[in-house]
Amino acid sequence: MDTENRIAVIGGGSWATALVKILCNNVDKLNWYMRNEIAVNHIKTYRHNPHYLQSVEFDLNKIEVSTDLVKMIESADTVIIATPSAFLTKLFEDFPIELMKGKVVFSAVKGIIPEYHAIPARFIHKTFGTPYDNIGIICGPCHAEEVALERLSYLTIACQDEDISEEMAELLACRYIKTTVSDDLFGTELSAVLKNVYAIASGVCAGLGYGDNFQSVLISNAIQEIENFIDEVSPIHRDVKSSAYLGDLLVTAYSKFSRNRTFGYMIGKGYSVKTAQLEMDMIAEGYYATKSVMEIKKKFDVEMPIVEAVNNIIYEKISPVIEMRILTDKLS
């Protein structure tokens, strides 16, 4: 992978838009797939995404944007998937998988594939036959909205092949983005999934009126749950206090830009799950992740009272007031 190799970004949302903005600092040519033809035509005419991060202006000399998924991937050497996890199966259901042969595939998907209870890396491996050494993840702590504002942000790039992670880290580094690398593909991706569930819990508590004192206890217990879970699923040495784990959890649980926290806040304020989803008009990945994490944790027999509380609220329809009152006696 080098600056002459073409990269394809798959997705039209805020995170995909942010990645295109970042990559244009260091690449000469970029493919960008979006399924919305109106948005594609708008970008070609006005150089802005009409729906996400509208302040970002694109250099169209560097970007080929299209609704043709096959064309965008076929001519690329590296593919970055930044589509919400709930839509991945449908997106690739008729895709000729042989076109992925030999490509490096990075996931910038901040969720879990609900149909299979699988992290994106496993979905990529199983669907396309891509070796795990050719699969990477791009994770935070980083919000797309702050990338648009060019506020200093940090990205973690994880891949079992150190050369691949180093090369992607170099392509993403710029004046306002600092990058670090990791070989913990599964741990970073599982942590990125879990932090969305805990952000929902944080939002619910905020909506119910719990203060900063309780939030600090909630999130300190959340990182312990993350550590216990990923150590069981992928038992290698890792430091969960680093930014790829704890940092990503903190920014997702506390930030005003966090969709999952906003989703939880609305539920805490009395919205039903369906009403909150309709009101937001955006995907809260933690909604899908909660059910999948519950299935995985049963297999590995991990205690996760916060995840269980979120599951009881959004799937079992137990009152947030009652469920969070019960949870307070389980935390320390």
Confidence (pLDDT) at 281: 75
Cis amide leading into 235 (omega within 30): no
> CA quadruple 27, 68, 85, 134: dihedral positive or negative?
negative
Q: Dump pLDDT digits (tens) for 17-29.
A: 999 999 999 999 9
pTM of the model: 0.92
30-33 and 7-10: which strand pairing?
parallel
**Domains of the chain, CATH where assigned:** 7-183 (3.40.50.720), 188-328 (1.10.1040.10)
State which residues of the chain have pLDDT below 70.
1-4
Confidence (pLDDT) at 125: 97
Confidence (pLDDT) at 3: 46
DSSP 198-263: HHHHHHHHHHHT--HHHHHHHHHHHHHHHHHHHHHHS-S---TTSIIIIIHHHHHHH-TT-HHHHH
Residue 32 backbone phi and psi in degrees, to 5: -135, 115
Q: Dump pLDDT digits (tens) for 178-223.
A: 999 999 999 999 999 999 999 999 999 999 999 999 999 999 999 9
| Mean residue pLDDT across the chain | 95
